[in-house]
Amino acid sequence: MCKACPIRLDDLREIRKTLGLSQAGMARALDVSLRAVQSYEQGWRKAPINVLRMAWLILFCHWRKTLGPQKPCWEVNRCDEQTRQACFAYSHNSGDLCWIMGGTECKKLAGIDCMERIGHCRQCPVLLQYLEK
């Protein structure tokens, strides 16, 4: 992947293809039916946020296996101590998962809709360190 064409995190088909999975394999990984994956990819139904989050987590595991651990978000974004202490990613030492988690304090995005937040995260160097590789 390159910066000019990063994967769309709202497109289950792109995630599945990046992982090299068939629709049946993706259905197994997400614990949903094959018909559900087909309907999400064809646009008949919108993938629920919990399904997208599971797909993101599987994608993250793929990236991490390929690239190894990256710098935590609080270092990349130079968060001050007060922000770190209030942040769920920091308190759970999950600074490379901030883009998938709720309860993070990055740019005061806590409490906004997940899809809106992921739009912001697509511009963040924490997620870009995976998308640009």
CATH number, domain at 26?
1.10.260.40
Same domain for 95 and 50: no
Per the structure, the complete domain to which residue 58 belongs is given by 1-68
Last residue within a domain, chosen from 27, 45, 68: 68
Last residue within a domain, chosen from 18, 46, 68: 68
Same domain for 64 and 82: no
Confidence label for 3 from pLDDT (cuts 50, 70 and 90): very low
pLDDT tens figures, 11-36: 899 889 989 999 999 999 999 999 99
Same domain for 122 and 83: yes
- Tokens for 85, please give them: 């202490």
- Mean of the pLDDT values across residues 31-60? 91
Same domain for 80 and 62: no
- Mean of the pLDDT values across residues 122-133? 73
The pLDDT score that the predictor gives to residue 2 is: 36
What does each C-alpha distance from 22 to 16, 38, 50, 54, 111 come to in angstroms? 7, 11, 20, 16, 34
Number of domains in the chain: 2
Last residue within a domain, chosen from 68, 90, 120: 68
More confident: 42 or 10: 42
